[in-house]
Amino acid sequence: MTDKGMLAQLFSRTAAKLVAHWYLKRPEFEEKIQEKYQIPSTILAAFLNLLYFHCHSTWSYRVAGIVLEPTNVCNLNCSICYFEKTMIRKKGYMKLDLVRKILKENPRVESYTLPFLGEPFLHKELSEIVRLISIPMAPSSKMKSSLKSLGQVSIP
């Protein structure tokens, strides 16, 4: 590994440790933070976004990732889940027009995550949403996406 690469790795580890232990006060997040923010420019962008947020700015330096929630509907009723007990939003499904609008307004986003809450496979247009986020909006895009599921839906 080059000196530059070793320095970037050291910077990433140090930043992850500071954020996990000092800012979040959740040391168990250190490894996940280091995994997500490996490149110094990504760490800087996240820091600047956080700074803008704390200054109550409506502008951000760069949106690195977006969590799209295709639905907040869940087919399970787990006793340990806080979701059912705390959600005050109406249950529903994201419209494709909204997905297109989000993609158009954020062409340089590095990653999309589906979903945050709810079971994505309950959305009848999930395959179209996945297709839309798989098309890079910017020529230099290195976009990644991930899909999380409870794995309890049978797909025909």
What's the pLDDT tens digit per position in 124-142? Answer: 999 999 888 887 665 555 6
pLDDT at 140: 53
pLDDT at 142: 62
Question: Is 44 within 8 Å of 37 (Cβ atoms)?
Answer: no
For residue 100, the tally of other CB atoms under 10 A from its CB is 12
Instruction: Please report which confidence band the pLDDT of residue 143 belongs to, taking 50, 70 and 90 as the band edges.
Output: low
Cα pseudo-dihedral 123, 126, 129, 135, rounded to 10: 170
CB within 8 Å of 146: residues ≥ 6 apart: 111, 112, 113, 114
Q: What would the pLDDT profile of 40-95 be if each residue is shown by its tens digit?
A: 777 787 888 888 888 888 777 777 788 888 998 888 888 887 776 777 888 999 99
Question: Is 115 within 8 Å of 142 (Cβ atoms)?
Answer: no
The yes-or-no verdict on residue 97 having pLDDT over 90 is yes
Side chain identity at residue 10, one-letter code: L
